[in-house]
A and B are shown apart, each in its own frame.
Chain A
Amino acid sequence: MDSTKWRKLLVYSLMIFITVITVGPFLYTLFIALKSSGQGIYDGILPTDPTFTNFVYAFNQTDFLQYLWNTVIVTAIAVPFNLLFSSMAGYALARIDFKGRSIVLTIIISTMTVPFQLYMAPLFQSAGELGLRNTHVGLTILQISTAFGIYFMRQAFLNVPKDLEESAYLDGANRFQVWFNVAIPLVKPTLISLAIYTFTFTWGDYLWPLINTTESSMYTLSIGLAQMSQNFNGGNLKLISAASILTTIPSLLIFIWLQKYFISGQTDGALKG
Chain B
Amino acid sequence: MSRITFSLTKKRMIKNITPWLFLLPSIVILVTFLIIPIVEAFQWSFLDYKIIAGTSEFVGFSNFKEIFSDELFWKALVNTVLYVAIVLPLNVFLPMILADLVNQKVRAVGLFRVLYYLPVVTPIVVAALMWKMLYSQDGALSNFLVGIGIIDDPINFLTNSTTALMVVAFITVWKGLGYYMIIYLANLQSIPNQLYESASIDGANSIQKFTKITMPMTVPSMTLVSVLTIINGLKVFEEIALTTNGGPAGATTTLVMYIYDKFMNLEVSIASAAGLVLLVLAIVASLLQMRLTSKREDDLRA
Contact = CB atoms under 8 A, between A and B. Distances in A.
B36 interface: yes
A254 B30 CA distance: 28
Contacts of B183: 270
B133 A237 contact: yes
Contact of A114 (B36, B206, B256, B282): B282
Interface in A181-240: 196, 200, 203-204, 206-207, 211, 221-222, 225-226, 229, 232, 237, 240
Contact of B121 (A229, A241, A252): A252
| Range of interface residues on A (Cβ < 8 Å) | 35 or more
| Range of interface residues on B (Cβ < 8 Å) | 35 or more
B16 A248 contact: no
Interface in A236-265: 237, 240-241, 244, 247-248, 251-252, 254-256, 259, 263
B8 interface: no
Most buried by B among A45, A105, A222: A222
B190 A244 contact: no
Given A125-B51, A270-B183, A18 B123 contact: no
A137 to B, nearest CB: 11
Nearest to B267: A121
Interface stretch (A24-32, A49-57, A58-66, A161-169): A24-32
A126 interface: yes
Interface string A1-19: 0000001100110110011
Most buried by A among B98, B126, B133, B272: B126
A122 B37 contact: yes
Given A12-B106, A22-B177, A120-B263, A206 B124 contact: yes
Given A117-B259, A179-B22, A211-B263, A206 B125 contact: yes
Contact of B33 (A12, A86, A142, A247): A142
A108 B34 CA distance: 10
Given A28-B130, A88-B23, A251 B123 contact: yes
Q: Is the interface of B mostly helix, strand, loop or mixed?
A: helix
A134 interface: no
B149 interface: no
A270 B187 contact: yes
A21 B174 contact: yes
Given A45-B140, A96-B19, A232-B132, A117 B235 contact: yes
B112 A19 contact: yes
B268 interface: yes
B134 A25 contact: yes
Contacts of A104: 23, 27
B237 interface: yes
Contact of B51 (A41, A101, A121): A121
Nearest to B43: A122
B16 to A, nearest CB: 7
B197 to A, nearest CB: 15
A59 to B, nearest CB: 17
Interface in B250-296: 256, 259-260, 263, 268, 271-272, 275-276, 278-279, 282-283, 286, 295
A113 B276 CA distance: 12
A251 to B, nearest CB: 5
B40 interface: yes
Contacts of A252: 118, 121-122
A145 B130 contact: no
Contacts of B178: 22
Interface of A: 7-8, 11-12, 14-15, 18-19, 21-23, 25-26, 28-29, 32, 41-42, 45, 84-86, 88-89, 91-93, 96, 98, 101-102, 104-109, 111, 113-123, 125-126, 130, 141-142, 144-145, 147, 150, 155, 175, 179, 196, 200, 203-204, 206-207, 211, 221-222, 225-226, 229, 232, 237, 240-241, 244, 247-248, 251-252, 254-256, 259, 263, 266-268, 270-271, 273
Given A237-B133, A256-B114, 7 more contacts: A41-B133, A89-B27, A123-B37, A145-B29, A240-B129, A241-B133, A244-B130
11 contacts: A19-B115, A25-B127, A25-B174, A26-B118, A104-B27, A117-B256, A118-B276, A119-B37, A155-B299, A200-B120, A266-B182
